[in-house]
Amino acid sequence: MRSSGINARAWCTLANEALRLDGVHSYYGDSHVLQGVSFALEAGKLLALLGRNGAGKTTCISSIVGLVPPREGTIRLFGQRISGLQPENISRMGIGLVPQGRRIFQSLNVRENLLVARQRERTRPDPWTIERVYDMFPRLQERHHQMAGSLSGGEQQMLAIGRALMGNPSVLLMDEPSEGLAPLIVAEVGRTISRLRDEGQTIVLVEQNSKLALDLADSAVILTTGRCVFHGAASQLRADESIIAQNLGVFQGHS
């Protein structure tokens, strides 16, 4: 299996399905966290991965990127099996991650954080470069020599997103990007995600803010104690808040 990305011919002939999980079981030690999770994501779409705290959302993300390899089941990226590969190979195949808590390199400046994540540009329209990241986040360009640890929380989140984009991912995983941010910054992060989606970036979005996630999403998955209890159109959840109330609690943003 190639681990250096998707070649030009493949990029033009990919099936419409970007990511598929089939019967994924993942563990932390003896703790059985994901219990047969299955879902699929269409290329160029945004999937909201929802669930209460401890439902298995971050474990699902960690399983996709290879940090918590599934013991059973398969994960495929554009039809190619990635479960069982090392995380660095999964990254090269085209999975990008904006981790929970941002995890930027605080002792490096903004530009260095972006450059360290740069991967060879795949054959795709409008690849991500440092100039393009600066175009999306002008504040990062203004602070390109500033140490990342001295940035505000919102700026650090912009940097975490920009760093992931520098890998030119075919599928971008975003784990709680609005966590700990002020409402105005949450709205700005939402606009950034919307812009990426509109530009055709395939995204899996993990969010406790269910209203933000569903306002952006094409489809949604709800996890409850490691099991998938809903997989369908986001519009179905937006139209039936009882499903949200039953599985997540209050639909944030609504009275």
If you average pLDDT over residues 23-30, what whole number do you get? 94
In a domain, 85, yes or no: no
Which residue from 243, 189, 246, 182 is spatially nearest to 213, judged by alpha carbons?
189
169: three-class secondary structure by DSSP = coil
Q: What is the pLDDT of residue 11?
A: 39
In a domain, 33, yes or no: no
In a domain, 182, yes or no: yes
Quick check: 2 pLDDT over 70?
Answer: no
In a domain, 145, yes or no: yes
Q: pLDDT-derived band of residue 5, with 50, 70 and 90 as boundaries?
A: very low
Planar angle of CA 21, 23, 28, nearest 5 degrees: 95
In a domain, 209, yes or no: yes
Q: How many CB atoms lie within 10 A of CB 204?
A: 26
Q: pLDDT-derived band of residue 4, with 50, 70 and 90 as boundaries?
A: very low
In a domain, 112, yes or no: yes
In a domain, 39, yes or no: no
Q: What is the pLDDT of residue 120?
A: 64
Segments of the chain assigned E as strands: 17-28, 31-42, 46-51, 72-77, 80-81, 95-98, 171-175, 202-206, 219-224, 227-233
pTM, full prediction: 0.86
Least confident of 146-150, 192-196, 212-216: 146-150
Least confident of 4-8, 105-109, 146-150, 225-229: 4-8
CATH number of the structural domain spanning residue 151: 3.40.50.300
Q: What is the pLDDT of residue 79?
A: 93
Write out the residue range of the structural domain in which residue 167 sits.
44-64+93-247
- Rounded to whole angstroms, what are the CA distances from 244 to 44, 61, 68, 145, 237? 25, 21, 28, 44, 7
Quick check: 224 pLDDT over 80?
Answer: yes
Per residue in 47-82, pLDDT (tens digit) is 999 999 889 999 999 999 999 999 999 999 999 999
> H helices then E strands: how many in the chain?
11, 10
In a domain, 176, yes or no: yes
Per residue in 155-194, pLDDT (tens digit) is 999 999 999 999 999 999 999 999 888 899 999 999 999 9
End-to-end CA, the chain: 51
Say how many domains are in the chain: 1
